[in-house]
């Protein structure tokens, strides 16, 4: 199937879904309706675009800072796990345990530590997104051929040089692939943190709309949040394909 045929097919499927959604919403219309149609959602987004944009900027900023911290933490932990045999497995298990703590339970604790601040929300986003980076980077490092290490040793390169100059190149595709998971996870973590500790942002806007029974506001905020989460994924997917066109993953899911 050609590219244009795929585009036409997908467009037809999405259009059919939207039409069905709108028809169901119209059939369920009324004061107690819990479903807004695409037309009503689009109207609400257009009417409140400034408020939604400001909330989006707040949440995106928290997610970006959290993701940046996750990259630093994740790569550092991955290097420790790969390079230090004595403590590597322990560090890996601790990372899994930390990632396993429910964010909704961790967010209040971070508020106690950092106060009701931007830092607490950014740290929540970081915790939500660092483990995929750790796992993928470790797998990438360990996927490097043993001949690469032997080459570095024959050139009298230090262990750190072999890791940073030779072996880390093999981990780049895995690292970039992890960002496709970590990026949306950071955004979701930032929204969740706003439920506990925020005055602005998409997360708190979603909460206010729910408690005020503002169905159209709830759906419009949800659609905007979904758009940004998907945009983050597409951005890192494009980055991975452009940065590593030689890797097999660059040709996947075309």
Residue 94 within a domain: yes
Residue 17 lies in a domain: no
Q: Would residue 61 count as lying in a domain?
A: yes
State how far the Cα of 184 lies from the Cα of 197, in Å rounded to an integer: 20
CATH code of 80's domain: 1.10.3720.10
pLDDT given at position 67? 96
Q: Give yes or no for a contact between 193 and 127, defined as CB atoms under 8 angstroms apart.
A: no
Calpha distance 78→86 (Å, rounded): 14
User: In the numeric block, which tokens belong to residue 131?
Assistant: 């483990």
Rounded CA separation 241/173 (Å): 9
User: For residue 187, what pLDDT is reported?
Assistant: 96
Is the residue at 177 inside a domain?
A: yes
Tell me the per-residue pLDDT of 26-43, one tens digit each, with 9 for 90 and over: 887 766 677 888 898 999
Q: What is the pLDDT of residue 152?
A: 66
Its domain, for residue 237, covers 40-244
pLDDT of residue 233: 94
pTM of the model: 0.85
User: Is 20 part of a structural domain of the chain?
Assistant: no
Q: Which regions in the chain score pLDDT beneath 50?
A: 250, 253-254
For residue 21, is it within any domain?
no
Domain contains 10: no
In-domain check, residue 13: no
Q: How far apart are CA 114 and CA 118, in angstroms?
A: 9
Measure the CA–CA gap between 32 and 241, rounded to whole angstroms.
Answer: 47
pLDDT of residue 156: 60
pLDDT confidence of residue 183: 95
Query: CA 92 to CA 102: how far, in whole Å?
Result: 18
Distance CA 189, CA 104 (A): 9
Q: pLDDT tens digits, residue range 6-16? A: 888 888 998 99
CA distance 108 to 114: 10
What's the number of domains the chain is made of?
1
Q: Note the pLDDT of residue 158.
A: 60
Q: How many CB atoms lie within 10 A of CB 12?
A: 10
């Amino acid at each position: 199937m050609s590219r244009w045929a795929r585009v036409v097919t997908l467009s037809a499927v999405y259009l059919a879904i939207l039409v069905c959604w709108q028809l169901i919403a119209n059939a369920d219309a009324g004061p107690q309706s819990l479903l807004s149609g695409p037309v009503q959602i689009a109207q609400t987004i257009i009417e409140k675009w400034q408020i939604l944009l400001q909330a989006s900027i707040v949440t995106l900023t928290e997610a970006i800072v959290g993701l940046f911290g996750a990259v630093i933490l994740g790569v550092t932990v991955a290097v420790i796990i790969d390079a230090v045999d004595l403590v590597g497995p322990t560090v890996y298990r601790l990372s899994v345990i930390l990632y396993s703590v429910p964010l909704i339970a961790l967010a209040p604790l971070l508020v106690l530590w950092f106060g009701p601040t931007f830092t607490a929300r950014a740290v929540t986003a970081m915790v939500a997104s660092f483990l995929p980076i750790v796992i993928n980077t470790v797998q990438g490092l360990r996927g490097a051929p043993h001949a690469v290490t032997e080459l570095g040793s024959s050139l009298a390169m230090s262990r750190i040089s072999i890791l940073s100059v030779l072996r880390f190149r093999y981990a780049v595709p895995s690292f970039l692939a992890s960002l496709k998971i970590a990026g949306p996870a950071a955004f979701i973590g930032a929204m969740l943190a706003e439920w506990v500790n925020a005055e602005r942002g998409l997360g708190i806007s979603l909460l206010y709309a729910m408690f005020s029974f503002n169905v159209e506001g709830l759906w419009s905020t949800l659609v905007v949040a979904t758009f940004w989460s998907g945009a983050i994924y597409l951005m890192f997917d494009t980055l991975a394909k452009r940065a590593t066109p030689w890797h097999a993953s660059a040709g996947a899911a075309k």
